[in-house]
Structure 1
Amino acid sequence: MLISQAIAQTVAQTGVLAAEAPAPWEAFALNMLLILTLVVMFYVLLIMPQQKRFKRHREMIDQLKKGDEIVTSGGFLGKIDKIKDGDDEVVIDLGNNVKVTALRSAIQNKAKAG
């Protein structure tokens, strides 16, 4: 028995016709709705949190002052010795009179007290 014959026999037995295919514009609208939903979810779940983290990091960097204990993205712990005005660099005292110059963007966060 062929599949089409089996389907015809099932329809004849149940008396229920298969649902008609949606109109082309309905299928297009459903596909566009799905794509729009995915774009919104992508924006809300990935882009917005990243923008918030970037904003908090920028605010933290702008509020740095001499004497703040920091952690660099390279893992160095130190205190800010000097902030160069008009420049994107800071001088970090790593201890034992070791001082390095780093970009502000290399500062990951402020060190936790204790």
Structure 2
Amino acid sequence: MWSAGYNNGNGGKIFNDKSKNSFWERRIENKNRIENQVKKQQEKKRIQKKQAERTAYEEYAQNKRLSAQDARTRLVAESSSFAKTVTISQAVASYEANFTMAVSVSNKTQ
């Protein structure tokens, strides 16, 4: 049938007019529409995944900054408590030394 339409160069036009709403045309249109939907969904998933990765990295970096800040705070606190501990231990040592000297002096006088 379509070969008859090629007379005078109208074959393609006649064939396309007759096949415009055929089963195969609708099938191709549906296939293309579904492919476009799948591509859009995949792009949306890719964007969401990238956003989730970015958010996770930002949280990681924030936690890392906070832990580094906490570590610095702990070091400062430990150094100040260490200084107090040294001071207290020095006071105890000097007290014991004074007590030992006082006892030894009192033993010599007796």
Q: State the TM bucket, normalised to the shorter chain.
A: 0.3 to 0.5
User: Greater share of strand residues, 1 or 2?
Assistant: 1
- Say which one has the larger Rg: 2
TM-score normalised by the chain length of structure 2: 0.37
User: Greater share of helix residues, 1 or 2?
Assistant: 2
TM-score normalised by the chain length of structure 1: 0.36
